[in-house]
Each structure stands twice: as C-alpha cells, then as structure tokens.
C-alpha cells in the first residue's frame, strides 16, 4: 500500500484535486468522491492496482479557507462538549443527592439546579436520604470541582476562542479578496456590456445563416427537380421520334403493298 497526500480546492462547481507527489490534477463533482477520484487517477498514472493506493486528503480549500481544519476543530469541540455534558450530569446528580441527604425538598433542589423537580426525583430515585458513602465518587467530583473545571471547561473555552479567531481571520481574508477583485469585476462587467451589441449582431447573422441555408436547400431541390424534368422531356422526345419512324415505315410498307410489290424488294 502506497500513501499519497492530496489537496482539494473548490473551483466553481467542481472540487479540484492536486496530487503534489506525482504532479497530477484531477477533479470530482462531490467532496465525498474526491478520495476515490484521486486514487483512480494515481493508479492509472503510476501503473498501480487501485487496492495499492491510499489517499490522505490533507486540506480542503474554499475561497482561501481550509475548511478541513475548521471541521477538525468542530469535531474536537463536539468531543469536549460531550465531556462537559457528562460532567454536568455528574455534578447535577452529586449535588441533588447531597441535598437530598441533607433533607432539602425536591422543589428547592430543582430551584438550585435549574431543572424540574421531576428530574430531581428521577436523579435521586425519590425523597429518601442516601448514604454518603454510596456516593463517594460524586463527592470527590464535587470536592475537586475547581480542578475538573480547569481540566475540561478551560480547554473547551480555548477551543471555542480558537475557532472564533480562525473564522474571523478567514472572513477578513475573504473580504480582502473580494475588495481586491472589485476592479477586475468592474472591467469584466464593462467588457460584457460592450460585447452585448456584438452578441446581438452574431445572433442576427446566425439567423440569416439559417435562412440562407434553407434557401440553398430549396434551390438545390428545385434544381434537382428541373434536371429530372429535363431528363424526362428528353426521354419523351426520343420516344416520340422512334414512334414517328415506325409510323413512316408502316406507311411506306402499306404503299408498296398497294402497288403489288412486297416491302424490301427494290425496283
């Protein structure tokens, strides 16, 4: 198995796939198809079996932003959010059970934790006091909340800040690119407007060309019909000439017969 790193860049409606190791470029309509398209291109170019090619997409560029890196940050954020949700559930459970053991009413516990009293009852299993030793792990969590918050919540906050910073940088770069392209867009728009009359004349010429082509076909058809008519007329003339010769021969034979001489006997 040979591994190839590729870069993917959005270009119009296509994903352009750059394979630096072999200096090749291919394309795919969908991002999900980029890896397969790159593997097929590499296998064909390097004379390898498709099963021998492993493709690693290292970057996905859209308008100057590496969205793959942003996606990885989002996934990391999801992982840390799930960890934080687990921490919240543990802290909620530990706090609710401790308050139950201190004989605090469920509705007051719900007020403290910002949940419904039904949720508190579900967590604690009712209103009966619990044995503290049964919840030693939760109590350890409560007693070390500051350290847990530092280990879990702080990295989460850092990740969120990093994503916001990168997103802001990408947005500023996109805005700068848009401003830089504004003069070029104005030129292209002006060229497009100046070409409008030319395009209109081209459409008129194309229409005239179609009419001329149709007339040419009609003329050719008429010429063919005229030629066929002339051939028919010549054939009819030859037929008429043969018929007249035959009539002359018959008339001559009749006259000779009337004089008592057989046809073709001479004087």
Q: Per residue in 233-262, pLDDT tens? A: 776 666 555 566 666 776 777 777 776 655
Q: How far apart are CA 161 and CA 153, in angstroms?
A: 12
Q: What topology is assigned to 2-62 in CATH? A: Double Stranded RNA Binding Domain (3.30.160)
Q: At what angle do helices 106-113 and 117-124 cross, to 10 degrees?
A: 110
Strand 65-66 and strand 14-19: the pairing is: unpaired
Query: What is the arrangement of strands in the sheet containing 14-19, beginning at the earlier edge strand?
Result: 24-28, 14-19, 2-11, 53-62, 65-66
The DSSP call for residue 152 is I
- Specify the pLDDT at position 84: 77
3-state SS, residue 169: helix
Q: H or E element: which one contains 57?
A: strand 53-62
Given a contact cutoff of 8 angstroms between Cβ atoms, the answer to whether 39 and 50 are in contact is yes
Q: H or E element: which one contains 208?
A: helix 154-258
- Specify the pLDDT at position 127: 44
Q: Which residues of the chain have pLDDT under 70?
A: 126-171, 173-175, 177-178, 181-182, 184-185, 187-188, 192, 195, 199, 235-247, 250, 259-267
Q: How far apart are CA 246 and CA 241, in angstroms?
A: 9
- Specify the pLDDT at position 42: 93
The DSSP call for residue 14 is E
In the chain, CATH 3.30.160.250 sits at 2-62
């Amino acid at each position: 198995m040979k591994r190839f790193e590729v870069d993917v860049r959005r270009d119009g409606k296509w994903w352009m796939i750059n394979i630096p190791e072999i200096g090749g470029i291919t394309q795919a309509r969908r991002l999900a198809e980029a890896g397969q398209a790159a593997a097929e291109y590499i296998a064909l170019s390097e004379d390898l079996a498709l099963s021998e090619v492993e493709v690693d997409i290292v970057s996905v560029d859209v308008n100057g932003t590496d969205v793959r890196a942003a996606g990885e940050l989002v996934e990391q954020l999801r992982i840390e959010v799930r960890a934080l949700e687990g921490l919240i559930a543990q802290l909620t459970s530990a706090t609710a059970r401790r308050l139950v053991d201190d004989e605090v009413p469920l509705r007051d516990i719900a007020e403290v934790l910002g949940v419904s009293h039904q949720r508190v009852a579900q967590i604690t299993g009712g209103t009966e006091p619990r044995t503290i030793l049964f919840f030693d792990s939760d109590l350890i969590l409560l007693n070390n909340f500051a350290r847990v918050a530092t280990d879990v919540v702080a990295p989460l906050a850092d990740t969120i800040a990093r994503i916001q910073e990168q997103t802001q940088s990408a947005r500023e770069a996109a805005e700068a690119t848009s401003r830089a392209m504004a003069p070029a867009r104005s030129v292209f728009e002006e060229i497009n407007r100046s070409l409008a009359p030319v395009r209109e004349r081209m459409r008129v010429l194309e229409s005239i060309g179609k009419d001329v082509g149709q007339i040419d076909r009609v003329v050719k058809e008429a010429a063919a019909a005229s030629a066929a008519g002339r051939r028919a007329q010549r054939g009819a003339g030859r037929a008429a000439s043969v018929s007249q010769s035959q009539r002359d021969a018959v008339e001559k034979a009749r006259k000779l017969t009337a004089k008592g001489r057989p046809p073709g006997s001479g004087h």
